[in-house]
């Protein structure tokens, strides 16, 4: 996380593990639906973990307890995610594009897209923009 309090890693076995940097120990592991493609951490306005998967969604979790805050839908596999500098927004990029790699002349139907969500530690405040 930008605060340096936590770091996280995910794997293709659908699990995510979080460690405390201060204690130098694991604080928890959780399982998500779909293969983990990407993780992102935020420190502001509170500690949050976002996990992008092949299940066409991002799981937003609280830290350090790994409780689910929201299930954010995407149109395809979520290959990258990033929190805004102040932590109030989350962007997710991905899709179901069968043509991998950089191609400058992709059609409109290539299946790749970026989604933006407002996020918070309260489920009711999270929404697709």
By CB atoms closer than 10 A (0-12, 13-18, 19+), residue 39 is buried
User: In the chain, which stretches have pLDDT less than 70?
Assistant: 1, 97-111
DSSP 125: G
Residues of the chain with pLDDT > 90: what percent?
71
pLDDT digits (tens, 9 = 90+) for 98-119: 665 555 555 555 567 899 999 9
């Amino acid at each position: 996380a930008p605060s340096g309090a936590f770091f996280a890693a995910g794997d293709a076995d659908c699990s995510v593990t979080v460690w405390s940097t201060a204690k130098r120990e694991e604080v928890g592991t959780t399982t998500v639906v779909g293969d983990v493609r990407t993780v992102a951490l935020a420190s502001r306005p509170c500690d949050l973990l976002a996990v992008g998967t092949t299940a066409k969604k991002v799981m937003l979790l609280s830290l350090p307890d790994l409780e689910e805050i929201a299930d954010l839908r995407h149109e395809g596999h979520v290959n990258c995610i990033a929190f805004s500098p102040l932590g109030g927004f989350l962007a997710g990029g991905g899709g179901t594009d069968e043509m991998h790699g950089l191609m400058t002349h992709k059609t409109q139907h290539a299946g790749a897209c970026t989604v933006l969500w407002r996020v918070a530690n309260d489920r009711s405040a999270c929404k697709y923009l």
